[in-house]
Amino acid sequence: MNKLEKQIQSNRQRFDSQEPSPGHMERFERKVDRQHRSLFARIPYVLKAAVVLLLVALSSILIYEQARIYYQNQQVLSLQDISDEFGEAEFYYTSLIKNKYQEIDRLNIDDPKQKEMLMIELDEMDKLFHSLQKDFQTNPTDTRIINAMISHYQLKLNIMSQIIKQLEEVNQINKKYEDHESTEI
């Protein structure tokens, strides 16, 4: 034990005999109460409720605006939304393009690299069309964009028709060559 502990042990009765002065506990409690009272506890309940309502209202408005912007961006316009004529033209061209894709798949392309290059080129055309669609989403009434989209459909159909025609010619030449070889042997 150190000296302080020995001093306390030897004089324990003197330490225990002293009581605090009267009113000490009440003064102590008042000091503790003053320190524990926060600014928030002093504000009236009506003001607290008003702040909570304001926060709820502001967060609701913020959530509503974010949801509106999200759904507005998700809405995709088509030519059908502008007029029935444009909608019919879009349906006509997209169905023809789909048929052309099926024809290309049906034709035999001996070299897989050639078929891959062909599909890459057609995908590049689709990327160009997607950029036109983005422009259309921002300016749906711009006739230049609408005409460009329809021209794109026409151009893609012409290119796909030429590709199919050339592939059929190559297949016919290959078939004649195979028939010619088989008859000579």
For the chain, give every domain's residue range.
Answer: 19-75, 78-184
Distance, in Å, from the CA atom of 159 to the CA atom of 152, rounded to the nearest integer, reads: 10
Task: Give pLDDT tens digits for 19-73.
Answer: 777 888 888 887 777 666 655 666 677 778 888 899 999 998 999 888 887 776 6
Tell me which amino acid residue 77 is: L
pTM of the model: 0.53
To which residue do tokens 């502990």 refer?
5
Task: Give pLDDT tens digits for 109-124.
Answer: 777 788 888 888 889 9
Distance, in Å, from the CA atom of 93 to the CA atom of 87, rounded to the nearest integer, reads: 10
Distance, in Å, from the CA atom of 36 to the CA atom of 22, rounded to the nearest integer, reads: 24
Distances (CA, A) of 116 to 109, 120, 123: 10, 6, 10
